[in-house]
Amino acid sequence: AAGALDEAHALIDMLRHPQQAWEQLSPDADTALTRESMDALIGDAREAGMTLNTWIDIRQLTDLDDRIGKIAYRAVQEGLTNARRHAAGAPVSLEVTANPETGIHVHVSNPTAPDPDGPRPDPDGHRGTGLSSLTARVRSAGGTCRHGLDDRLVFHVDAALPWVPAPGADRDRPEAGGVPVR
């Protein structure tokens, strides 16, 4: 219920400040999927102290739909932010593949055992809306997004997007949430 309330507040804020929402969601050179934007995100994460293993295979981005590129960038950004907030000190793996034949795949994973000296999870179980918002964005473009723990207690964020929005993609689908990744 708290997650739904947080999402409702985020939507109301977007309606009250549509220009700000548009600026945050519209693609630009810094927030679209490019080699440069990936280098910047990775550099920022490492500069903040994250141990980050990466495998990036991005091809032929000139034909990539702008909206899809923005959502893919946000998937990487949210995956890294989530790992930093909830598993500080744990090594993080990032894989990004993008090509016209297979679409875009973003996978971020990290063990959930926190660094003993790092920040602790909120004892009240407070959860942000980042992953549920990401899931809604990915689904709105005809993609899939899953996040959750596997049997080894490794947390995964896994997003797959088409190269262009799927015809008839349900842009208003509100459902989102964690789905165990196995």
Token code pair at residue 107: 């996978």
CATH assignment, 2-161? 3.30.565.10
- In terms of phi and psi (left: phi > 0; alpha: psi -120 to 50; beta: otherwise), the region of 32 is beta
Longest dimension (CA), the chain: 48
Q: The sheet that has 144-149: what strands, in order across it?
A: 52-58, 92-99, 103-111, 154-161, 144-149
- pLDDT 10s digit of each residue in the chain, 182 long? 655 676 676 677 667 766 555 555 554 556 788 889 999 999 999 999 999 999 999 988 888 998 999 999 999 999 999 999 888 889 999 999 999 999 999 999 999 865 455 554 444 444 567 898 899 999 999 999 999 999 999 999 999 999 988 887 654 443 434 444 54
Backbone angles phi, psi at 98, to 5 degrees: -150, 120
Token code pair at residue 37: 């934007």
Domain range summary for the chain, segments of one domain joined by +: 2-161
- Cα(133)–Cα(139) distance, rounded to whole angstroms? 10
